[in-house]
Structures are given as C-alpha cells and as structure tokens.
Amino acid sequence: MQSDSKEWVLDAETEYRFELDPGASLAIKLVHGQAEVFGAELAEGKTYLFGSECKAAIFTWQGCTLEVTGHASTEYVSDETPMAAYANLHIAFEQMRVRALRVVHGSPASDDDSDANAEPPRVLVLGPDNSGKTTICKILTNYAVRAGQNWSPMLVNVDPSEGGWAVPGAISAAPVQSPLPTASPANPLGSAATSAPTALSSNALVPLSYWYGHPEIKRNPLLLDRLIRNLGENVRDRFDGDPEAHTSGLIVDTPSSFASGPTSGASTDSRHSLIKACVDAFKINVILVVGHEKLNVEMQRLYGSRLTVLKIPKSGGVVELDLPYRERVHNYQLHTYMYGQKIDPPPGISSAILGGEAVTDLILSPSSSIISFNDLTLYRIGAESMAPSSALPIGAARTVSEMQPVLVDPASSGSGLLNAVLALIAPFNPDEAERYDEEILDLNVIGFLVITNIDIPNRKMTILSPNQGSFAGKTAVVGSFEWQE
Amino acid sequence: MSLYPQTHAFGQPTYPAPTYPQPGPPAYPYQQTPAPPPPVYYVDPNTFRRDYAARLAQLTINSRPIIQTLSMVAQEYSRWADIVVQCLEAHIRRVPPYMKLPSFYLLDAISKNVYDPYARHFAPFVVPLFLETYQQVDQTTRSKMEEMLLTWRTGAPTGKELFGFITQIAIERGVWGGDPGVADISKAQVLSELEFTLSQKERAVQANAWDHESRKHVEVLQQLRSLVEAGVSQDELRQILAQLRSLSQSTAPPAPAPAPAPPTYPQPSSSSYSYPSQPSYPARPSFVPPVVHHSQPQSYQYQSTDQPKSEPVDLSSLLSTSSSPAASTSTSTAPSNIAGLFSALLKAGIVSATGTPVGAGDTAKAEDNTPQPTSQGREASRAYRKAILGQKIKLTNADITRKRPSIVHFMYERLSVQCKQCGIRFSDDALGKKDMESHLDMHFRQNRKANQNIGRGHSRSWFVGLEDWVHDSSTDYKGKGRADGSRPLNAKASAAAEAANREAELRAQFVVVPQGDEAKTISCPICKETLKSEFLEDDEEWVWKNAVKKDDRIFHATCHSEALTSVQSLAVRLRNEATGRSRSGTPEASSSRASPPKEAAALRTSISPTSESKRAGLKRKVDDYSSSDVTAKNDNDGTPPMKKLALAA
C-alpha cells in the first residue's frame, strides 16, 4: 500500500506491543492467522484503529501476521506473556460457571465435581500501580463472553480514577455480552450506550453508576465504602432476579491504592476496609493479586480461610504511567463521554473500524444550554477540602461530616464551579415519607454535565450535557473533577 | 492459441500432429452432445493440454460450476487422462496455498466420478502432493482436507480405498502420524473422523429439520467430540477409532452395490457433491462418500454408531417408537458394534469426566444421558460442561501457572464459524448457526439503522434508572441475547420475547418460487408491497421470504398473521373504522383500506387450522424447554396471558 505500513509476523503465544504518542494513531490489520487484543478477537482483514496514547498488545495463540500502519513510539514483539496463566484462570472460572449453571438448572451433579462448590466466580482483582489489573479484568471478561455459552459476566469498576464506562470519578457495574474492544484509554472497558446504532453490544453498555467525584480514594474513603456497598447491593438484587445471569459471575477491577500505599497507619486501615467492603458487597470468592507478593500474603492471612486468594503473574508489557498521562486520559474520557470517540486514521488508511464500530458512528453531539441557577440543585458531599479525621484535635468533631451533602450556591464567588464536572443523579424518592438525609449518597448517576460558563450577575450558567434531554429541576453532585475542552 | 501453431506447427517433430483448432470442430461424435461446458472439441493433445491448463487457472475459488466443468471435460477426454493428471498436479503445486483446496476438490471429483483411469493415474503422486499441500495450508483448510481424506477410504466404486490401501494409509499416517490401528493414534485423527461423521449427521439434520433422531445423534457426537478433545487415553482413542472404523467398513461395502458399475457423472442438480459457490460461512464443502446416495445404509450406519451413546433405556424406547425399518436393521445387524462402542464411549466419558478410570461406570451412565427430551441448547451446554470440567485445573497458584494450551481449543477450534464483521465466533452446530444468523441479522439491522441515521447525529444516552437496571434481565439491549426462553424473565420481557419469537418465525417462512416465475414480481395483497425473493443456498431454490401461500395467493407471513389476529379479535371495530375513517377520501383508497379485514375474514376458515397448529408448535417448544428446566416452569404456567398478549400485539 504505502511505505508506512509494516508487516509483523508473530509466532504462536507471542504479542506485539505498542505505545502511542499523543495525537498519533495506529492502524492494525490482521492479515493472516488469529489474534486478539486483550482477549477480544480481531476479524481477519479488518483494519482496527488505536489512538489517544493507547498502549496495548496484540496477542496470538497460534501465530499471525499483522500489518501495522502509522507511527508507534515503541513497538516490539514479546514472547514472554502471562497469557497462559490467564487462560488457565479462565478455564477454572468456566468450571465454576458451568457448575453454578447446572445447579440453577437443577441438573443432577455428576460425581466428577460433587465436592466442588457451585458458586459462580466472583473475582476481585487487586494489584499495585501499573500491574495490568484492568487488562486482566478485560481479558477474563472477554474470554467468558467468547466461550459461546451466552455468559454475560458483570464487570464492576470501583476505581474512581478510571471511571469505567462513565467518566472518571464514578464507580460502576455493567453486564457485558460481547467482547470489549480496545482502541483508546478513553473507554478501556467498552462504552456506555448512545443513540447511535452499534454492532457490538459492548459499545452500548448499560452501566449502573455512582458518583464518588475524586480521583484518589484517600479523599473520602467513607463515601467510597458506602458507594461500593450500594453498588454491590444492587448487583445482588439484579442477580437475585435473574439467577441464570448470576452464573456468569462478576469481576471487580480495583484502584491500585487498594493494594499499595503507606504500610501503616490510618490509610492501611482504610484500604483494608475498602477491600473488605468489596469482598462483602460483591460476595467475592476469588481474590487475584497481580504481581504483589506482600499483598498476596496479607490477603491470604485475612481471607485465605474463607475464599481463594491467588497470586497471578504480571505482564512484562505494562507501561509505567505517570500522573500527567493519567490526567490526559481523564480528559480523553470526558471528551469521549460528550463527543464520542474520534481517532484520525494514519495517512493512507481510508476505511477502518474503531473498537469494532464504523468510525462515523462513534462521533457524538452533546448539547449546550443556558439555564438559570435555580434549575439545577447542586450539592457537594462533605466539605470542599477536609483534613483527615485523624488530623483533628482529639475529641473534636467535624463541623461538616464527610458524608454530609452540602448545598452549593453557584452565585457565591468561591464556588469553584466553573468547568466542574457534575453528576446528574436519579430523582429522589417520590414518597416524601421515604426520604432521608443522606439519600443523595445512595442515588445512582444518570449522566454527567459540565458547567462551561457561569454568569453570576444574571444568575445563569451554561451547561454541556451529553444529549438534549432535560435536566431542569434535577439534582447534581459536584466532585473535584474539572474539564475544559 | 493461434500463435502457437503458427510459429511452431510445421516441421516440429516434438509436437506431434499439430492442427488448428480454428478450422472448426471436426464432426466428431461429441457434437451431438452439445453440452454447454466443453465448447471446444479437441483433436490433438497439445491443444487440449493448453486449454485444460487455461481452464484450470480459473479455478481460483471454490466454485462448483468450474469444478464440474473441469471434471466433465476430464471424463470426456479420459483417453488423455495423463494430460489431465499432469495439468492438475502442476496446477496444485503451482498455486498459492489458499487456492489449493479447490484443486484438490477437482482431483477428488474426477477420481470418484470417473474413477477409471484417473484414480490409478493420481495414485502414484497423490501421497506427496496431499502431504505437501497439507503442510502449507491453514487449519481450516486442513480440516477440510482431512474430511476429504476420510471420504477416500471408501471412495472407489467398490467401496474400497479410492487410491488403494497403501496410498490411503500413507496419507493418513502423514496427516495424523503414527500407524493407524497399530501404534499411536493421535487425538487429531480421532477428532477428524468424528468431525467427519458429525458433519454428515448435521447435513442430515439440515436436510430434514424434523429429524429428531439425527439431531440427537449430532448432539451425542458433539458430546463425544468434546470428550475426546478434553483428552482421553490412548487406549480409549484406539477403541473409539476402531469402533468407528469397523462400523464404517462394515457399512461401506453394501453401499456401492446398487450403484451402476459404470460411474455416471452426477447431474448439476444432484446434491451429492455440493461445491459451495462461495467459500464464506456456510460453505462447508460437503464431501460425502458414495454411501450417501443410499439413504438406507446411511441411516443404518448412524443408528448403529449413535444409539449406543444414548443409554439403554433410550435405545429401547427409540426402537419401540421408531417406525423406520432402518432403526431395527441397525440393532439386529450390528449388536456387537453397539456393545463395543458403547463401552468404549462410556469409558471415554468417565475418564474425561472424573479422571478415575474405574468404578464410576454406573453413575456416569445414569446421569449422562437423561432420558427426557432435552433441548439442543441444554445438550450443547452439557457437552461444554463436560469438556470444561474435564480440564484438570484447580484454582491454585501452581495450577494456574502451569502451562496448558487447551484454551485454543475452547476459544478457537470449538467455535469454528466466525463473523467476518467483528470476529465473534460461533460453534459449527445447528445452534451455533442459529446464533450466527441472528448475529448477522443484528449487523444488518445495525447497518440499516446507521444508514438511515446519517446526518442526524448521535448523542450519549442517559444511564437507566436503578429499577430498570436491577430488573432488566439484560436480554434485549440490542435485540441480542438469549432468545431461547429458558431464562426466568419478568412478564413484560417474556411477552416481548414471545412476540419477537413469533415474528421471527413468521419471517422465516417462505414460499418456493415456481419454476419460471423467478423474474416475476408479486406483491402482498394486504400491504401491497413487493415480496422479496431470495436464493436459498442450502436448498438451491429461489424463495419468497416472509411469505405464506393461502388460496393460491401469496401473502407476507407477517401481514397475514396480523390480519388474522385482528380479524379474530377486532374484526368489527376494524371494519367500522375503515368505513368511518374520513381521511380515506377517494373511493379507491377506502376500498383498499377496507380490504384487509374482508380478505382476512374470507380467509379465516381456511387458515385457522394452520395458524392453530403453528401456535401449538410454539407451545410445544415452550414445553420442551421447560420440561427440562425447572426454573422455567413459572413461565410456562404463565402461558395463557402471554399468548393473549402476543395475540393482542
């Protein structure tokens, strides 16, 4: 085609790894053989686009030939991958799923596994920074949906810095029915539903989302704990209503701060309590610890008696991600939430698919509208900046507790609302008698808004919203995220 | 063509008897058979060689017409068999790997259909040719070649090996390694033989969708396949193989007997050799040994292969219910086979299931084959369960890090059909095909919707409310998901699923276009829209899709059913509306407006039985699922209201 494209011939069980610079994009075509990107199989002859500083790997079990067009800042082939271990994990989880399904169906137990329990896999993935937790979750999920058994595992993301299908600052859960594509870090786990028709249902996921509002968990661990429990409760409700769906199990991706951090003191307690919140909320029965010996030992000690704790190898391909990169990814994610995904193909590529979809179908048009201050009720959870409770004088109580919803007035000059990301939350209980003080903490998110302009003299603000839907009279919660186009 | 003789024709002793083909075909006997394929009549071998080579060069895809033409030419010019053989060999060696398979199909077709003298001409070099090709091609092609190889075992008109015993053994050894029947038997070999048997059975099912027995056999074979894939010991492999082989050998000889000794060329319409016209998804080259021509021996063979796998109780019940003579012959003629294979299979099952080869026989027998009729999906998932549980992996650090390549089987080989759009895979059985079809439908709908939406712009949707999220059973986000009705859905979802099912079933109905009417367009009397005609690859017929024929008129099945329902419940209201409607101002419009109910009313008596039976069929389907599914019981109880809903829809 043109000089820019290169052919890579991969042997069986090797992977082609690449990293992209900002603004660069890469087009990869599977010329021959079989290949998968984080567990999602590529179709032969189709051109797949990657962009937004995507760092990914194309793995092949049986060997393949790839045609790569575009410029990657780093690209190489590695034959050392932990994929065999991940595949074994998948097989083991499949065993749990089929056993669970058999029990749901009421089929008699065959003697081959009568001793084994019939619980579906409910997996918590823990690991330090840059250990590939999300990737493992993705691979395991993709393998499950690819098994051809109509599994739809529940994928849960409790890492607020990642955002999952929503925007950073949220934690969410969504059942996955088709392989999750990889194209950019903006939507690492597939994307939430849009009005556009999509070929892959993983590009139209329906997540249940709660708004935490901050990238770091130490900012308000109590709130995160509560949200995790809310999420878990609703996931359980859903499973109760559909036992067969439950057999597909669930996979929980966690923030790295669950795994690492200062070794002593209050923060250790808080991360242990968050791990415990996850274990309780999602009835975890398998904990995977990625490449962290010590955490593995800790988990063995704490949970080894009642659930399976496994240490699994970390991929050598994971890239050290710095803070500026993570911030850029947050921007990509918010941009993608509002405007959809647009990656310009490298020169010479005319038709390509992006995350399994035609490129044009992923471009979205948000709507910008000017509303009165009174049209939207804004809250912040806890005080804007809080010292940890341990820093307070002994015996002193907070004036504003961490969990208290505080009304925010856009008219006050120091509100810090310009460019703030808001989470539009579900309406309060229509029954007045059922309401309670902190109800706002237990309401799920229905969408995200950004305040793009504030006009204090006229008491008006400009709101960017993902669609034309009305949000007048609703309630939104402010976090610490800001976004500017 | 003309260049060659003009420059070299005269005085070239190396090219014997060159003549011009142009002077017009000499009045040879061929002329009275103006068969379309060979338009040129050859008088000298060189011209023939050139022309045949040129025609061969066109064989770049798996095209049935080309293969047939070439095969026919080969038959007619069997006196120049050596030339055909040389050309073909050279061709196969020359073309790139992806083009080799069609050429092999040609070799196969010629050898089987014309047999003499071609088979003995091919025999000397077919071993290295086959094996070299086998090395070069990809996995899919390999399995197709294996499939073909298996047909060669009984490919000769006598039911013997097509190219002779020695040749056959040599190729098989080259492909599967070891010495079949004597030393090591590779899993691959057993698998491909199983695969072969299975594909024959699947074809039987496709040919006759109501052939429940075959369907069951397919399931059992699939189960067996997953067992073998999961890994059984050398001994069991040998046993299974020996049984399969002795069966096919014992059944093969009677098969060709009724065949006329001089091999005839199959008519283009004959389905014995179906070279798919396109190598895409459904294109499974159906290589059927001559046995297939005779349905009786065929079913006989399978009965004896398969019945043992269903448990004894089942066997007797099958026998008692089955009115087909084939079933009874099978048991009477091959009881030893049944017993032998049964034990072999049982062993295989137990071994792969438990890892304890002894003592577990009784329990396994009791539960592996539940006597009640189970749905295909259930059967498939059971087979999958067996295969997965056969994997000896425990959730321990040691086990996880220990390398096991079986994932390739589960992720790729077991699911051999792949969507070319998005790479999602499906299994190659009937169920997988159904899934694949609905998956492709989804792509189609999505593309259509995308085209309709151009320029309109999309936007991110709000997330759903908590109640909806918790209670929506995720079945129908994109119209995708399990429509098998086996899940306990809430009432609304199940009603919707029921309606969708009904609609799908209606749409799947078709009427075969009568000969000669292919170009005619007809429209549905109800909606006045043109019926779409479509070519069914499987049946090789033009059909009108979504159509029913009533009283010699063709209706859209959906329109017809709609009219029927409305007439049953709302006839009066409809008629009132039709006459009372002011906007139907013109008389013509009002008459057309009023026609559907009238038409439907007139049709009612003649139609209701069929629609009744259809509904009964639906009901039966629901019953089938639920009888094996405790959890679906509730749904079944709810049938009457559901039905009402569907009717009202």
Rounded-to-integer distance, Cα B544 and Cα B540, Å: 13
A367-482: CATH topology = Elongation Factor Tu (Ef-tu); domain 3 (2.40.30)
- Residue B572, Cβ density class (10 Å: 0-12 exposed, 13-18 middle, ≥19 buried): exposed
Average pLDDT over chain A, rounded to an integer: 80
CB contact under 8 A, B477 and A310: no
Contact A20, A54 (CB under 8 A): yes
Kindly list the distances between the CA atom of residue B619 and the CA atoms of B432, B477, B501, B506, in Å, as whole numbers in the listed order. Answer: 23, 25, 12, 15
- Which residues on chain A are in Cβ contact (under 8 Å) with B442? 199
Mean pLDDT over B409-423 rounds to 79
Quote the pLDDT of residue A471.
Answer: 78
Rounded-to-integer distance, Cα B362 and Cα B57, Å: 59
Q: Tell me the pLDDT band of B568, cut-offs 50, 70 and 90.
A: low
CA–chain centroid gap for B298, Å, is 17
Quote the pLDDT of residue A386.
Answer: 54
Rounded-to-integer distance, Cα A223 and Cα B38, Å: 82
**Minimal Cβ distance to B466: which of A308, A367, A444:** A444
- Which residues on chain A are in Cβ contact (under 8 Å) with B629? 105-106
The reported pTM is: 0.54
Rounded-to-integer distance, Cα A289 and Cα A254, Å: 11
Rounded-to-integer distance, Cα A447 and Cα A376, Å: 14
Nearest to B407 by CA among A34, A383, A292: A34
Quote the pLDDT of residue B636.
Answer: 39
Please report, to the nearest 10 degrees, the dihedral formed by the alpha carbons of residues B632, B633, B634, B637 taken in order: 130
Rounded-to-integer distance, Cα A119 and Cα A121, Å: 6
Q: Listing from the earlier edge strand, what are the strands of the sheet with A40-41? A: A40-41, A36-37, A55-60, A14-19, A74-78
Phi, psi of B496 (to 5 degrees): -65, -40
- Which residues on chain A are in Cβ contact (under 8 Å) with B424? 41, 146, 178-179
Rounded-to-integer distance, Cα A175 and Cα A165, Å: 11
Please, which residues 333-352 of chain A have a Cβ atom closer than 8 Å to chain B?
337-338, 340
Testing the interface with A: which of B458, B473, B482, B625 to mutate, by most A Cβ within 10 A? B458
Interface check A237 vs B, CB under 8 A:
yes
Rounded-to-integer distance, Cα A91 and Cα A199, Å: 27
What is the percentage of chain A residues whose pLDDT exceeds 70?
Answer: 86
pLDDT tens digit sequence for B472-505: 654 443 333 333 333 333 444 555 556 666 777 7
Q: Tell me the pLDDT band of B156, cut-offs 50, 70 and 90.
A: confident
- pLDDT above 70: residue B565: no
CB contact under 8 A, A198 and B401: no
Contact B292, B272 (CB under 8 A): yes
- Which residues on chain B are in Cβ contact (under 8 Å) with A469? 462
For tokens 């779409």, name the residue. B532
Q: Tell me the pLDDT band of A116, cut-offs 50, 70 and 90.
A: low
Contact B186, B177 (CB under 8 A): yes
- Which residues on chain B are in Cβ contact (under 8 Å) with A178? 422, 424, 480
Testing the interface with B: which of A31, A38, A41 to mutate, by most B Cβ within 10 A? A41
Q: Indicate the pairing of strand A26-33 with strand A47-50.
A: antiparallel
Token pair of B123, please?
């025999």
Across the strands, what pairs with B426? B417
**Minimal Cβ distance to A467: which of B393, B459, B482:** B459
Contact A26, A72 (CB under 8 A): yes
Rounded-to-integer distance, Cα B502 and Cα A424, Å: 40
Please, which residues 415-474 of chain B have a Cβ atom closer than 8 Å to chain A?
415, 418-427, 432, 442-443, 445-447, 449-450, 453, 457-466, 469-474
Contact A286, A122 (CB under 8 A): yes
Rounded-to-integer distance, Cα B384 and Cα B227, Å: 9
Please, which residues 122-151 of chain B have a Cβ atom closer than 8 Å to chain A?
138-139
Contact A352, A165 (CB under 8 A): no
Closest Cα in chain B, distance from residue A394 (Å): 41
Rounded-to-integer distance, Cα A200 and Cα B477, Å: 11
Give the domain ranges of chain A: 5-80+342-362, 83-312, 367-482
Angle ∠(A137,A143,A147) on CA atoms, nearest 5: 150
**Minimal Cβ distance to B397: which of A62, A311, A358:** A311
Long-range contacts of B518-526 (CB under 8 A, 24+ apart): B518/B542, B522/B554, B524/B554, B524/B555, B524/B556, B524/B559, B525/B553, B525/B555, B525/B595, B525/B599, B526/B555, B526/B556, B526/B559, B526/B560, B526/B562, B526/B563, B526/B595, B526/B596, B526/B599, B526/B600
CB contact under 8 A, B450 and A179: no
For tokens 């829209």, name the residue. B529
- Which residues on chain B are in Cβ contact (under 8 Å) with A244? 486-488, 631
- Which residues on chain A are in Cβ contact (under 8 Å) with B396? 310
DSSP 3-state of B26: coil
CB contact under 8 A, B463 and A105: no
Quote the pLDDT of residue B497.
Answer: 59
In terms of CA atoms, which chain B residue is nearest residue A336? Answer: B460
Mean pLDDT over A411-437 rounds to 79
Closest Cα in chain B, distance from residue A193 (Å): 6
Contact A400, A383 (CB under 8 A): yes
Q: Tell me the pLDDT band of A361, cut-offs 50, 70 and 90.
A: low
- pLDDT above 50: residue A17: yes
Kindly list the distances between the CA atom of residue B583 and the CA atoms of A68, B529, B571, B578, in Å, as whole numbers in the listed order. Answer: 61, 21, 20, 10
A83-312: CATH topology = Rossmann fold (3.40.50)
Q: Which helix (H) or strand (E) holds B198?
A: helix B187-207
Across the strands, what pairs with B526? none
Residue B10 DSSP label: T
Token pair of A135, please?
């990737």
Quote the pLDDT of residue B612.
Answer: 40
Quote the pLDDT of residue B635.
Answer: 39
Q: Which of A203-217, A443-457, B171-185 has the lowest mean pLDDT?
A: B171-185
Question: How many CB atoms are located within 10 Å of the residue A470 CB?
Answer: 11
Hey, what CATH class is A5-80+342-362 in?
Answer: mainly beta
Interface check A458 vs B, CB under 8 A:
no
In terms of CA atoms, which chain B residue is nearest residue A148? Answer: B426
Quote the pLDDT of residue B279.
Answer: 38
CB contact under 8 A, B427 and A32: no
Rounded-to-integer distance, Cα A117 and Cα A107, Å: 15
Size of interface A-B (CB pairs under 8 A): 266
DSSP 3-state of B281: coil
- Residue B621, Cβ density class (10 Å: 0-12 exposed, 13-18 middle, ≥19 buried): middle
- pLDDT above 80: residue B266: no
Average pLDDT over chain B, rounded to an integer: 60
CB contact under 8 A, A85 and B401: yes
Please report, to the nearest 10 degrees, the dihedral formed by the alpha carbons of residues B561, B564, B570, B573 taken in order: 100
Residue type for position B139: Q
Q: Tell me the pLDDT band of B566, cut-offs 50, 70 and 90.
A: low
Q: Tell me the pLDDT band of B40, cut-offs 50, 70 and 90.
A: low
**Minimal Cβ distance to A88: which of B404, B427, B488:** B404
Rounded-to-integer distance, Cα A111 and Cα B148, Å: 39
3-state secondary structure chain A: CCCCEEEEEECCCEEEEEECCCCCCEEEEEEEECCEECCEECCCCCEEEECCCCEEEEEECCCEEEEEEECCCEEEEECCCCHHHHHHHHHHHHHHHHHHHHHHHCCCCCCCCCCCCCCCCEEEEECCCCCCHHHHHHHHHHHHHHCCCCCCCEEEECCCCCCCCCCCCEEEEEECCCCCCCCCCCCECECECECCCCCCHHHCECCEEEECCCCCHHHCHHHHHHHHHHHHHHHHHHHHHCHHHHCCCEEEECCHHHCCCCCCCHHHHHHHHHHHHHHHHCCCCEEEEECCHHHHHHHHHHHCCCCEEEEECCCCCCCCCCHHHHHHHHHHHHHHHHHECCCCCCCCCCCCEECCEEHHHHEECCEEEEEEHHHEEEEEECCCCCCCHHHCCCCCCCCCCCCCEEEECCCCHHHCCCCEEEEEECCCCCCHHHCCCCHHHHCCEEEEEEEEEEECCCCEEEEEECCCCCCCCEEEEEEEEECCC
Testing the interface with B: which of A46, A89, A91 to mutate, by most B Cβ within 10 A? A91
Quote the pLDDT of residue A355.
Answer: 62
Interface check B369 vs A, CB under 8 A:
no
Rounded-to-integer distance, Cα B343 and Cα B165, Å: 29
Sign of the CA dihedral with A194 first, then A29, B481, and B538 last? positive
For tokens 């996931």, name the residue. A235
Angle ∠(B486,B490,B496) on CA atoms, nearest 5: 80
Contacts of A470 (CB under 8 A, 6+ apart): none
Interface check A98 vs B, CB under 8 A:
yes
Packing angle, helices B139-152 and B100-113, rounded to 10? 10
pLDDT tens digit sequence for B111-138: 888 888 888 888 888 888 888 888 888 8
Count of helix runs (H) and strand runs (E) in chain B: 26, 9
Quote the pLDDT of residue B301.
Answer: 36
Across the strands, what pairs with A277? none
Q: Tell me the pLDDT band of A236, cut-offs 50, 70 and 90.
A: confident
Interface check A224 vs B, CB under 8 A:
no
